[in-house]
Amino acid sequence: MSDFAIDILLILVKLGLIFAVLLTGAAYLVLAERRVLGRIQRRYGPNRVGPFGMMQPLADAVKLLTKEDFIPAQADKPIFFVAPGLAAVTALLAFAVVPFSPPITLFGREVPMVVCDLNIGVLYFLGLSSLAVYGIALGGWASNSKYALLGGIRGLAQLISYELAMGLSLVPVVLMAGSFSLTDIVLAQNPVPFALLNPVAFLVFLISTAAESKRIPFDIPEAENELVAGFHTEYSGMRFGLFFVGEYINMMILGSMITVFFLGGWIGPVLPPIVWFFAKVMAVAFVFIWMRGTLPRLRYDQLMHFGWKFLIPVSLINVIVTGALLLWLKG
């Protein structure tokens, strides 16, 4: 068997694994969110299906699959069909560059624990996370519903606003790591994660990712009390499910990104690196859920105000300060 074939096989195996882990992860993240929110509100959350409600995601899937797939009369059908997939796929694709463990040696070969260690991983990630909004915008547009359209437009505006802050908050990370490769960034955080070295960038990134994934308090595109359900108002059944899955996969990806960029990736004592990686991702996911259970939704103008007039200036200043500091340290 040639190396190339083995490489392909390994990539396929990794892809399969990642798919499986991401999808089940997303499904259980839904359950985890409902349970945690329940506890925050002093309820139990879903606990009827299986022990501790562990089979709930399965039941949800069955329900979503068996529900009627409703298509509005005047909808732009092709786009309407594609949009939820787009939302899920772009989210999945971003995971290609995430290293979740140091390379391991398997059958005498060194196998990198990343699907594809691009040397411009950061740019790839930024690009894909921006693409994710296509699903929302197109879904909102294709539904031929004013709520959905408004939701899509808001999603676009919100993404543009926060993408900038997110990108700018990554500049110090790249500066500090001296590389665009995510593996290099992780390695650069041994022993001190960037979250401690540059907390401002960390916070800006954390907030921006929350806004990117349209999580509360930034869920303006689907604000229930104004827009019914925003961009997915007209979606039902598994198509709605895809949007949902996309959103939670996105949450996992962003969690991974935070882990990679700021929390030192797999690096940690005692436990195997992959466990550390997942623990950190889960911790970030928990923070997101916690945030949802705590904060109320921002108003649209507040959201824009906060993004443009606060986050971007702060991250710009942070770039300058970090750059200056690095120059001073090295110089």
Picking from 33, 27, 102, the residue whose alpha carbon sits closest to that of residue 277 is 102
- CB of residue 219 to another protein, shortest distance in Å: 17
Q: In this structure, what token pair is assigned to residue 81?
A: 């069909």
- CA distances (Å), origin 34, targets 42, 215, 216, 219, 295: 12, 14, 14, 17, 16
Determine, following the binding rule CB under 8 A, whether residue 282 of this chain makes contact with another protein.
no
**206-209 long-range Cβ contacts below 8 angstroms, 24+ apart:** 206/258, 206/287, 207/162, 207/165, 207/311, 208/162, 208/163, 208/165, 208/166, 208/169, 208/311, 209/166, 209/254, 209/257, 209/258
Determine, following the binding rule CB under 8 A, whether residue 49 of this chain makes contact with another protein.
no
Determine, following the binding rule CB under 8 A, whether residue 294 of this chain makes contact with another protein.
yes
Q: Is residue 192 left, alpha or beta, with left meaning phi > 0 and alpha meaning psi from -120 to 50?
A: beta
Determine, following the binding rule CB under 8 A, whether residue 310 of this chain makes contact with another protein.
yes
User: Whole-angstrom Cα distance, residue 22 to residue 29?
Assistant: 10
Residue 229, classed as helix, strand or coil, is coil
- CB of residue 112 to another protein, shortest distance in Å: 37
Determine, following the binding rule CB under 8 A, whether residue 52 of this chain makes contact with another protein.
no
Stretch that binds another protein, among 11-19, 122-130, 199-207, 293-301 (CB under 8 A): 293-301
| CB closer to another protein out of 299 and 305 | 305
Determine, following the binding rule CB under 8 A, whether residue 41 of this chain makes contact with another protein.
yes
What is the x/- site pattern for another protein, positions 121-150, by CB under 8 A? ------------------------------
Determine, following the binding rule CB under 8 A, whether residue 44 of this chain makes contact with another protein.
yes
Determine, following the binding rule CB under 8 A, whether residue 290 of this chain makes contact with another protein.
yes
Determine, following the binding rule CB under 8 A, whether residue 36 of this chain makes contact with another protein.
yes
Picking from 244, 234, 314, 278, the residue whose alpha carbon sits closest to that of residue 64 is 244
Determine, following the binding rule CB under 8 A, whether residue 295 of this chain makes contact with another protein.
yes
Stretch that binds another protein, among 37-45, 121-129, 167-175, 185-193 (CB under 8 A): 37-45
Task: Using CB under 8 A, pick the residue from 103, 112, 237, 293 that binds another protein.
Answer: 293
Do 71 and 64 meet the contact criterion of CB atoms below 8 Å apart? no
| CB closer to another protein out of 51 and 108 | 51
| CB closer to another protein out of 28 and 286 | 286
User: Whole-angstrom Cα distance, residue 203 to residue 7?
Assistant: 38
Q: In this structure, what token pair is assigned to residue 172?
A: 């110090």
| CB closer to another protein out of 46 and 268 | 46
Do 194 and 184 meet the contact criterion of CB atoms below 8 Å apart? no
Determine, following the binding rule CB under 8 A, whether residue 19 of this chain makes contact with another protein.
no
Determine, following the binding rule CB under 8 A, whether residue 43 of this chain makes contact with another protein.
yes
Task: Using CB under 8 A, pick the residue from 19, 309, 324, 327 that binds another protein.
Answer: 309
Determine, following the binding rule CB under 8 A, whether residue 200 of this chain makes contact with another protein.
no
- CB of residue 295 to another protein, shortest distance in Å: 7
User: Whole-angstrom Cα distance, residue 329 to residue 331?
Assistant: 6
- CB of residue 208 to another protein, shortest distance in Å: 17
Determine, following the binding rule CB under 8 A, whether residue 164 of this chain makes contact with another protein.
no
Determine, following the binding rule CB under 8 A, whether residue 175 of this chain makes contact with another protein.
no
User: Whole-angstrom Cα distance, residue 227 to residue 243?
Assistant: 17
Q: CB-hemisphere CA count at 13 Å for 49?
A: 14
Q: In this structure, what token pair is assigned to residue 194?
A: 């960037």
Binding site for another protein (CB under 8 A): 36, 38-44, 290-291, 293-295, 305, 309-310, 313
